[in-house]
A and B are shown apart, each in its own frame.
Chain A
Amino acid sequence: MQIRARENFDRTFRMIFRATGFLVIAVLGGIFIMLLYNSIAFFVKVSPWDFITGTQWNPSGRAASYGMLPLLVSTGIVTLGAMIIAVPLGIGTAAFISEYAKPGLKNILKPAIEMLAAVPSVAIGFLGIVIVGPGIAKITGQSNGLNALNGAILLAVMALPTIITVAEDAIHAVPRTYREASYGVGASRWQTLIHITIPAAAPGIIAAVMLGVGRAIGETMTVLMATGNVAAFPRGFFHSVRTITSTIAIEMGEVPYQTTHYFALFAIATVLFILTLAVNLIGEYFVNRFRKFQAA
């Protein structure tokens, strides 16, 4: 091929590659505009104040009400419950893999965690119906165990691999010299872990938890299948709840195009988007702090 032709080829491809970069911005921009546009259409009809503080979500009744507070609280309860379970388990497992496990055991545990991460959420939701639900029902004497606790347990299972992997990286990255200094003054392995290693890895661990929270807030299928989906104001772990994600999943399939109800679902999706964005930004902030620490 002639040199000139080759160079034109080179230039063309450079342009193509760059265009794909713009595509990524366009996708995020598109999502953002879609949410914004439909939310504005909604807020023209319903005041944002009523939307945020309203305690009743009943869009299909005769006097439709679009209070998203119950959904927000549901998402909060389920996520909180998931983190109460997953954070200690996750950090403990990460510490065990990083500090205690022998290489042979590590080579089994790490793939096991990757396997857990690979299980599709719908399969975990299914197990929520057939195992966790009946289990909870037996203990509490309820007719079925489809409630916030069930959702929290399943979300914990879903968030655990993320938390373990990121936290393990963080603990592993703590310089050896820190530990040696601690052993040098006579501290035991446990004291070193609690007083030196984990505090030193704290930014990374917080990032791990934040990523787990982000995953739990945005997860749809498990909560949709396991939490009972009652749109009343949530009263606790042993009651049915209905998160933002499940509300979208349930109602979007049935609403007529471009009605207030349709726009309302985009409005709660916007709230969900903002929530996950905020959580991820916090996570990213700590990841960056953790990187700086690693570089130092």
Chain B
Amino acid sequence: MKKLNPIFEWFILLFCTGTVCFFLGVILYDLVSKGWPVLSWAFVSKGPTAGMTQGGILPAIFGTVMLTLITAVFSVPFGICCAVYLNEYAKDTWLTRLIRASIRNLSGVPSIIYGLFGLALFVQSMGMGTSVLSAGLTLGLLSLPYIITTTEEALRRIPASTREAALGVGATQFESIRDVVLPSALPGILTGVVLTLSRAAGETAPILFTGAAFFIAGGSGYLNQEFMALPYHLYMLSTQHQAIEQVRPIAYGTALVLLIVVFFLNLTAFYIRYKHRNNE
């Protein structure tokens, strides 16, 4: 190969990195500069009025919080238990390998297919109808493989000697897991959980047919009712509304609030990770 000018070589890579950063910059700049003026206390504390063209997005915020909580209640205990089984109990049998293969495949299944599955299973077969519960469980299934993977990683970092310490004083295996292994792995598990939930909070495709609604007057809070959610709200405002230009500011505000929620959860996760590293 002909020798390139070193400055030029360096420039190629810098250009790639710069472009990636440019993408991020555009996203942040556009959403913040146009969403910020819309934000106000009223925007996050009032419901929409005048056919969505005015008012706030409180029901959507409320719906997203509730949805995320249901997702967590379902996926966190199951995910942690499964990870404990795989890392602490499972022997290397064909069954274990099948479970691991399932987890890997589940994490690659497109989110819209989870939406279909939620529709077929929760909404139709189990008779929950389009509701916040159906949608939360659907997102719970979607989150399950991520929770399992991150929890297992956290458990794997706990050295065998920690487990032996508990067994050595006569603890049963379950006691050693409950009292020593899980508490030691907690920061790692928590980081994974928060990151997974931040992803779930931003998902739209799985809730399209499982319960998200364009407009609900006030948040009902009942599990069997349809709900508004930030990502779905943004989708509807930006594509389905009849006065698209008129609701654009509200769409920007919604996008910024969604971004703030997601980044806040991410920062929480980084903080836990950072704090834990410093303690070690």
A127 partner, pick from B30, B103, B203, B239, beta carbons under 8 A? B30
B26 surroundings in chain A (CB, below 8 A): 127, 131
Q: Taking the nearest CB of chain B, how far is it from the CB of A262, in angstroms?
A: 10
Q: Mark B170-209, 1 if CB is under 8 A from A, else 0.
A: 0011110000000000000000000000110111110011
Q: Which of B22-51 contact A (CB under 8 A)?
A: 23-24, 26-27, 30-31
Contact A190 B6 (CB under 8 A): yes
Q: Taking the nearest CB of chain B, how far is it from the CB of A166, in angstroms?
A: 13
Name the prevailing secondary structure of the A interface residues: helix
Q: Taking the nearest CB of chain A, how far is it from the CB of B26, in angstroms?
A: 7
Q: How far is the CA of A248 from the CA of B255 in the complex (A)?
A: 24
For A214, give the chain B residue with the smallest CB separation.
Answer: B108
Chain A CB within 8 A of B270 CB: yes
Q: Taking the nearest CB of chain B, how far is it from the CB of A156, in angstroms?
A: 8
Contact B78 A122 (CB under 8 A): no
Contact B112 A160 (CB under 8 A): no
A121 surroundings in chain B (CB, below 8 A): 202-205
Number of interface residues of A (CB under 8 A): 87
Q: How far is the CA of A189 from the CA of B4 in the complex (A)?
A: 11
Q: Which of B78-135 contact A (CB under 8 A)?
A: 78, 81-82, 84-86, 88-90, 95-96, 98-99, 102-106, 108-117, 119-121, 124
Q: Taking the nearest CB of chain A, how far is it from the CB of B262, in angstroms?
A: 5
Q: Which B positions have Cβ atoms within 8 angstroms of A?
A: 1, 3-4, 6, 9-10, 12-17, 19-21, 23-24, 26-27, 30-31, 78, 81-82, 84-86, 88-90, 95-96, 98-99, 102-106, 108-117, 119-121, 124, 141, 144-145, 148, 172-175, 198-199, 201-205, 208-209, 231-232, 234-235, 238-239, 248, 251, 255, 258-259, 262-263, 266, 270
10 further A-B contacts with Cβ under 8 Å, apart from A10-B173, A220-B112, A273-B113, are A24-B82, A27-B106, A31-B109, A114-B266, A120-B202, A121-B202, A130-B238, A131-B26, A188-B3, A245-B110
